[in-house]
Amino acid sequence: MDGTVPVAAAGRGPEGGRAAIAQPRVGERVADTRTQLSEGSSKHGGELRLLAGHGNLELAGKIAEALGEPLAEMRITRFADGEYDVKIAESVRGTDVFLIQPTCQPVSENLIQLFIILDALRRASAGRITAVIPYYGYARKEKKSQARDPISAKLMADIITLAGANRVIALDLHSDAIQGFFDIPVDHLTAEKMFAEYVRKQGTTGAVIVSPDVGGAKRAGSIARILDLPVVIVDKRRSNDDEVAELRVVGEVAGLHAIIIDDLISTGGTLVSVSHELKAEGARTVRVLATHGVLAGDAVQKLAAAPI
């Protein structure tokens, strides 16, 4: 148990300190997808086109390379006042378009790009438009927590559909309920099998899978079943200012290697608190596997200083 924080980050985040960020091996994960996309395009009747916004060009390039399909030429520029202008430099009429645009930091700018590109594709008469959004921004506002709260995740779904998407592909949404916010098909992919493979390679002797909150119990439980490992849930209570106020470990971690499974790391505050609580309960080591490495603010420094 080497103290690394492996993060299969669909978004982007800084690196530093002791918390090494391991990027996903995209080619290995989508090697079988070429046939699926080709078959899907064939059934749809349109030629396949891949496009990418600025959300994560490195990821888009790796996907294109793995599929053996070039990224269609598109220019995204700004006017003098900062507004975006999009020019799709080749015909997409009647084609089966996959637009790769995760809405990672800066979230709002990447969302605006997504909306404008979708609108441009729709007006260019694309046959079908699939929005590939590995990291779905505003997902943590999927319900009203207090009076007069917005449900931002639903609003984003409405705008994505209105802008022109016919289908959405997302990875480890913060809440399964977000799929129901769309009136179009949603392919909700998970990193569960990839995480299970990673843990198995590292060794499962004396390990326990941990969900850092009740909401992630289903995800942690799925991985625990694949590996035939016990699962522990951390009951987390928050104060009014959204800080973690109280933690209670439900299950046994004493003398075991705790492996925390989460969908995203934002500020890192929850993981730091949970890791200290697990160590206080007698865990030998603490590791973290998270799909989306948002890593906002000083998250990397916090994780490096934590017992992870």
Which residue, 51, 56, 60, 62, is CA-closest to 86?
51
Task: Please check the confidence at residue 173 and state whether its pLDDT lies above 50.
Answer: yes
Of the CA atoms within 13 Å of residue 11, those in its CB half-sphere come to 25
The partner residues of 241 in beta bridges, in order of sequence, read none
Clarify whether residues 229 and 215 are in a common domain: yes
Residue 49, in any domain of the structure: yes
Note the pLDDT of residue 237.
73
Q: Residue 78 pLDDT more than 60?
A: yes
pLDDT of 98 strictly over 70: yes
* 53 and 180 within one domain: yes
Domain co-membership, 131 together with 87: yes
Mean pLDDT over each residue of the chain, to the nearest integer: 87
**What pLDDT is attached to residue 246?**
83
Specify whether 178 is located in the same domain as 214: no
- Active-site annotation holder among 62, 141, 236, 302: 236
Residues 135 and 88 in one domain: yes
**pLDDT reported for residue 16:** 36
- Compute the distance between CA of residue 209 and CA of residue 256 in angstroms, rounded to an integer: 10
In this structure, is residue 71 part of a structural domain?
yes
Clarify whether residues 150 and 283 are in a common domain.
Answer: no
Same domain as 268, residue 177: no
154 is catalytic: no
Q: Which domain holds residue 208?
A: 192-305
Question: Closest Cα partner for 293 from 138, 132, 135, 177?
Answer: 135
28 or 148, higher pLDDT:
148
- Overall number of domains in the chain: 2
Residues 144 and 206 in one domain: no
Domain boundary among 154, 174, 189: 189
| Same-domain check for residues 123 and 178 | yes
Task: State the average pLDDT over residues 1-7.
Answer: 43
Tell whether 111 and 217 lie within a shared domain: no
Q: What is the CATH number of the domain that holds 200?
A: 3.40.50.2020
Q: Are 272 and 307 in contact (CB under 8 A)?
A: no
Residue indicated by tokens 């599929």 = 67
Which of 147, 164, 189 is the last residue in one of the domains? 189
Residue 8 has pLDDT above 60, yes or no: no
What's the pLDDT tens digit per position in 44-64? 557 999 999 999 999 999 999
Residue 18 lies in a domain: no
- pTM equals 0.83
The verdict on 150 and 271 lying in the same domain is no
pLDDT band per the 50, 70, 90 thresholds, residue 30: very low
Share of the chain above pLDDT 90, in %: 81
pLDDT tens profile 225-270: 999 999 999 997 765 555 556 899 999 999 999 999 999 999 999 9
> Tens of pLDDT along 198-233?
999 999 999 999 999 998 999 999 999 999 999 999
Long-range CB contact pairs, 121-125, < 8 A, 24+: 121/51, 121/88, 121/92, 121/97, 121/164, 122/163, 122/164, 123/164, 124/88, 124/91, 124/92, 124/93, 125/92, 125/93, 125/94
pLDDT at 271: 95
- 166 & 51 share domain: yes
Burial 82-113 (b: 16+ CB within 10 A, else e): eebebebeeebeebbbbbbbbbbbebeebbbb
In a domain, 6, yes or no: no
Single residue among 139, 163, 189 that ends a domain in this structure? 189
- pLDDT category at 104 given cuts 50, 70, 90 is very high
Residue 15, pLDDT above cutoff 90: no
Q: What is the pLDDT of residue 39?
A: 54
